């Protein structure tokens, strides 16, 4: 049988008592807050969705923004803007010494939206490029990155992904993209993985090869489809396609890279 003295229990209870660490303040003086250089730009779609959520069920008081001693916003710039736009009190916690490195850590650990969420949201805002792009996604079994490479920028889709998230998507290569979609459809009867990203990147390069004939390639592949195998590298695909295209050609051969 255990024997715990009342004094020991009291001492233990005192030792485990909760302590107040950071106090939550609230204010409607929006002018005291500042943006911190290096923080992510505001996302209009996120701002719109958050505004609608707050109008329906305001829980901003349960999720205070985080500022440093200079009132620079470290975490919660969208929440702050919603409060200001709706003339609601800003709930905030002030922690001395926080800066850009903490912003980056908090941003990295925050829940990221899927690219499909951005596309759907901006389409609901009636941005035509996003609705056009969403239609492409729905009609074709091709990944977002590959479609961006075809319709937006070429072989490097990094900048296009950032533009997509920020509401600035521009599909400047629609003619090329639609032609390559037709090519992919033709290829699928000979190569079941014609929608692979690196194969598509190879087709984008073929599009820019002067003198290349897709009709000629389709004629050549009929008798050489076994030569086309999966690869994780665009250059390997280009080499295979070049070999197929130039098979039994006399004279100067067409180079793809």
- Specify the pLDDT at position 99: 79
Residues of the chain with pLDDT under 50: 2, 154-156
Phi first, then psi: give them for residue 73, nearest 5 degrees.
Answer: -75, 120
Domain positions in the chain are 21-109, 173-257
The answer to whether the CB of 199 falls within 8 A of the CB of 237 is yes
- In the sheet that 90-94 helps form, which strands lie side by side, from edge to edge? 24-27, 90-94, 65-67, 72-75, 34-35
Strand 34-35, strand 72-75: pairing? parallel
Q: What is the pLDDT of residue 11?
A: 55
104-117: per-residue pLDDT in tens? Answer: 677 666 656 688 88
Highest CATH level, class, for 21-109: alpha beta
In degrees rounded to 5, what are phi and psi of residue 89? Answer: -65, 140
pLDDT at 139: 96
Average pLDDT value over all residues in the chain: 87
Whole-number pLDDT of residue 155: 43
């Amino acid at each position: 049988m255990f024997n715990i003295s009342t004094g020991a229990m009291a001492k233990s209870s005192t030792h485990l008592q909760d302590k107040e660490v950071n106090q939550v303040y609230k204010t409607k003086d929006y002018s005291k807050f500042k943006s911190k250089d290096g923080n992510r730009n505001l996302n209009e779609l996120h701002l719109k969705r958050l505004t609608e959520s707050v109008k329906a069920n305001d829980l901003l008081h349960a999720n205070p923004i985080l500022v440093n001693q200079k009132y620079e916003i470290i975490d919660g710039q969208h929440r702050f803007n919603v409060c200001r736009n709706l003339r609601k009190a800003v709930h905030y916690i002030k922690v001395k010494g926080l800066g850009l490195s903490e912003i980056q850590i908090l941003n990295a650990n925050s829940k990221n939206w899927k690219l499909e969420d951005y596309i759907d949201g901006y389409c609901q805002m009636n941005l035509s490029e996003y609705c056009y792009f969403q239609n492409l996604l729905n009609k074709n079994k091709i990944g977002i990155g590959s479609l961006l490479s075809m319709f937006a920028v070429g072989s490097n889709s990094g900048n296009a992904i950032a533009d997509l998230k920020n509401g600035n998507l521009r599909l400047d290569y629609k003619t090329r993209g639609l032609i390559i979609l037709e090519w992919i459809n033709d290829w699928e009867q000979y190569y079941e993985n014609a929608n692979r990203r690196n194969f598509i990147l190879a087709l984008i390069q073929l599009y820019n090869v002067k003198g290349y004939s897709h009709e000629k390639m389709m004629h050549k592949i009929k008798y050489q489809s076994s030569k086309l195998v999966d690869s994780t590298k665009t250059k390997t695909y280009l080499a295979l396609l070049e070999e197929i295209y130039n098979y039994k050609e006399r004279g100067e051969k067409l180079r793809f890279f």
